[in-house]
Amino acid sequence: MKRAIGAAAVLAAAFLVVPSGPALADEVEQVVNGGFTAGVDPWWSSPGMPITLTDGRACVTVPGGTTDKWDVSVGQNDIDLVAGETYRFSFTASGAPEGHVVRAITGLSVAPYDTYFEASPALTVAGDSYAYTFTSAVTTAQAQVAFQLGGSAESWGFCVDDVSLLGGVPPEVYEPDTGPRVRVNQVGYLPSGPKRATLVTAATTALPWQLKNSAGATVARGRTTPRGTDVSSGQNVHSIDFSGYRRAGTGLTLVADGETSRPFDLGKQAYDRLRADSLKFFYTQRSGAEIRADLRPGYARPAGHVDVAPNLGDGDVPCQPGVCDYRLDVTGGWYDAGDHGKYVVNGGISTWQLLSEYERGTRVHAPNPSLAIPESGDRVPDILDETRWELEFLLKMQVPAGHPYAGMAHHKIHDAAWTGLPLLPHLDPQQRELHPVSTAATLNLAATAAQAARLYRRFDPAFAKRSLAAARTAFTAAQANPALFAPVTDGTGGGAYNDSVVDDDFYWAAAELYLTTGEKRYADVILASPVHTADIFGAGAFDWANTAAAGRLDLALVPSKLPGRAEVRASIVRGAEKYLAIQKAHPYGVPYAPANNMWDWGSNSTILNNMVVLASAYDLTHDRRFRDAVLEGMDYLLGRNALNMSYVTGYGEVSSHNQHSRWYAHQLDPALPNPPAGSLAGGANSSIQDPYAQSKLTGCVGQFCYIDDIQSWSTNELTINWNSALAWIAAFTAGLH
Ligand code: 9MR
């Protein structure tokens, strides 16, 4: 579970439900009296929840009205674990009424209560057997086995028996189910676009392929191109190009090497739907607003963090102890991700990207889809109404006049301690705290508020004026405090979002202020910045921490009288040429090739942001190579990849749907929904920081460092800055014919 586990990542190797295998000579039972044949000892239970022995099983009546899973538990301490040894954790359990979830863990019995292994099965009244295998990364005599039962509004009954933690068992090897070896964009190709696929095969010479229509008739054929070993996956692959086929249709398949791809369409409707769905994601991330059933059937929930118990609310939030002596109303905004935190730096890039999508739309005359939000129909484009929800929050994070650091922005606001999963926003009982101001957050506020001033002017001049004033104040405050950095250590209860390089943020904020006001003082900052002429297009073009490209792209695309603008525009095209070359060399058509094949946290958004550079180069040049590159980049996200899955929920035959989230936690509580259609998963992350991914994916190669499980917060979260990238690109592709 995310962050409830503390900073130390402590688990490695494999985890699988396994039938009990043949006993090995050195298998050693670690649990004492796991069958409860000798009474209750040495098992313990939370105060007020005594264990009773019923038909030889240990049973408890779990009280209702607790918040986190670990609020009430049954367990046994003083368990020995040895680093590198593999354990089989098994038990039988039942729960009544049906469907209650037990969080079964092996972890540390003392602070900081690290979790070494966890599983959260939904229990049946009849009872079931459960067995899991994991390898311990620690040696300790202070482990525990525990069954965490809290978090239910109602009281329920739990029984457990035959608890075993057997050491010395063989490790399990995790094999993802990757389906047919012909990998395609499972959603669809544009009739006028490139149509490429990847075949995983042992063959080293060209093979025939056939394109089949939904009736199974061959409509095109050709031969594959052997590509050798793909670095990003370690696979031997061929590529297939069927771009010549242009007839719209549904249910097509590609056949090669005896394998038939998952079905796909040829048409452009998919991107129209994705343009809206990827933006609709933001409404359901809103803090401080009830999510209405009529607007989002299946996703209704009460407003979170509006000072209604058990929330302590965001209406009157103190600073962390010692940080400030005032309190702020910081209601509203979007929850960052699967947590309930709100972070100005990540809110900033997300806001910029949605506003940039809107601003591009004004240049290319793109329609603004209806997003079915409460403000729909108010004559303001829905994308601007949605983004304003976040902008109002960002403005509230600015220190008011009369206080120390007036004009600076607090870096973030979140819970004082990590909460568990699942947890609906309105049920979060934690104290909310403002964290210190930072230069990066202040410049994010300056940039986005300046951008807002130019884009909302024609809809709400008063708001535009207020935004511009806040932006100017923030920029001046950042100049006076240019080195206040959020530390990496401030990661309890929320993400650190640490950033100690702010040249890029100064550049971006100056760019937005200049584009909005045309004032020389901001142009001077831009022209004097080394960032202005630097080659900023590395393995990833931009992200929440690296914002130079946000400034550069807008300086290239938003009309202004900036001296040397032609060179700014040329720099975008040069960046795009780089990503084009990377994509061309990539057998899966990915415009991303990180150094040492170390895929970033949230790599799917990195890929999308590289595609934003390609798309911007297309806008600047109308060179079709750039447009085609964006379309081919989408193929990776929608299924043409080593795992043969779409990373966008509800798009493609097999798609991510168990993203890490406290309220889309269907995998942990069947009564909760999966994420809404159009939610992007973070994607392959070579560093696999979470224990669950470590238990399954240790040693993974590039593209394989991903798992669609709610526990895997480092590969499978959903986040506003990832969906903003998807939304930007979906709007671009929806506009292509
Ligand atoms: O996306 C962020 C990634 O770039 C950072 O390396 C990581 C560690 O700081 O944090 C990621 O962001 C998470 C944030 O800290 C908390 N909310 C969820 C975000 C996505 O996982």
pLDDT of residue 10: 29
Q: Tell me the three state secondary structure of residue 347.
A: helix
Residues ≥6 apart with Cβ < 8 Å to 150:
62, 66, 67, 68, 69, 70, 71, 72, 73
The answer to pTM > 0.85 is yes
Average the pLDDT over 715-721 and give the result: 98
Angle, CA 300 vertex, CA 340 and CA 395 arms, to 5°: 45
Q: How far is the CA of 666 from the centre of ligand 1 (A)?
A: 22
Query: Do residues 79 and 136 touch, judged by C-beta distance below 8 A?
Result: no
Q: How far is the CA of 419 from the centre of ligand 1 (A)?
A: 16
Residue having the nearest C-alpha atom to atom 18 of ligand 1: 337
For residue 16, is pLDDT > 60? no
For residue 287, is pLDDT > 50? yes
Q: Is the CB of 492 under 6 A from ligand 1?
A: no
For residue 572, is pLDDT > 50? yes
d(CA 475, CA 513): 9
Q: How far is the CA of 719 from the centre of ligand 1 (A)?
A: 9
Q: Is the CB of 496 under 6 A from ligand 1?
A: yes
pLDDT of residue 641: 98
Average the pLDDT over 395-413 and give the result: 98
Q: Is the CB of 499 under 6 A from ligand 1?
A: no
Q: Is the CB of 536 under 6 A from ligand 1?
A: no
Residue with tokens 């584009």: 515
d(CA 718, CA 414): 17
pLDDT of residue 183: 98
Average the pLDDT over 467-482 and give the result: 98
Please tell me which residue in 238, 600, 660, 669 is annotated as part of the active site.
660
Please, what is the average pLDDT of the chain? 94
User: Is 708 a residue of the active site?
Assistant: yes
Q: How far is the CA of 74 from the centre of ligand 1 (A)?
A: 33
Mutate to test the pocket of ligand 1, among 544, 719, 720, 721 (most ligand atoms within 8 A of CB): 719
pLDDT of residue 206: 98
- Write out pLDDT tens, residues 517-566: 999 999 999 999 999 999 999 999 999 999 999 999 999 999 999 999 99
Angstrom distances, CA of residue 690 to CA of 114, 272, 598, 614, 671: 12, 35, 16, 32, 25
pLDDT band at 589 (very low <50, low <70, confident <90, very high): very high
For residue 12, is pLDDT > 90? no
Q: In this prediction, what percent of the chain has a pLDDT beyond 70?
A: 97
Average the pLDDT over 122-126 and give the result: 94
For residue 246, is pLDDT > 60? yes
Of 663, 734, 715, 737, nearest in space to 284 by CA? 663
Secondary-structure percent of the chain, ordered helix, strand, coil, rounded to 5 = 30, 20, 50
Mutate to test the pocket of ligand 1, among 497, 723, 724 (most ligand atoms within 8 A of CB): 497
Phi (first) and psi of residue 321, to 5 degrees: -50, 130
Query: Do residues 240 and 209 touch, judged by C-beta distance below 8 A?
Result: yes
Query: Do residues 575 and 621 touch, judged by C-beta distance below 8 A?
Result: no
pLDDT of residue 6: 31
Residue having the nearest C-alpha atom to atom 10 of ligand 1: 495
Domain boundaries, the chain: 28-167, 271-497
The C-alpha torsion from 359 through 361 and 362 to 364, rounded to 10°, is 130
For residue 395, is pLDDT > 70? yes
For residue 9, is pLDDT > 50? no
- Ligand 1 atom closest to Cα of 497? 9
Residue having the nearest C-alpha atom to atom 12 of ligand 1: 495
Q: Which CATH number fits domain 28-167: 3.40.50.2300, 2.60.120.380, 2.60.120.260, 2.60.40.1730?
A: 2.60.120.260
Q: Tell me the three state secondary structure of residue 280.
A: helix
For residue 264, is pLDDT > 60? yes
Query: Do residues 601 and 712 touch, judged by C-beta distance below 8 A?
Result: no
d(CA 632, CA 283): 29
Classify domain 271-497 at the CATH class level.
mainly alpha
Q: Is the CB of 600 under 6 A from ligand 1?
A: no
Mutate to test the pocket of ligand 1, among 501, 717, 721 (most ligand atoms within 8 A of CB): 717
Query: Do residues 284 and 389 touch, judged by C-beta distance below 8 A?
Result: no
d(CA 280, CA 680): 12
d(CA 486, CA 441): 9
pLDDT of residue 313: 92
Phi (first) and psi of residue 509, to 5 degrees: -65, -40
d(CA 693, CA 312): 33
Q: Is the CB of 717 under 6 A from ligand 1?
A: yes
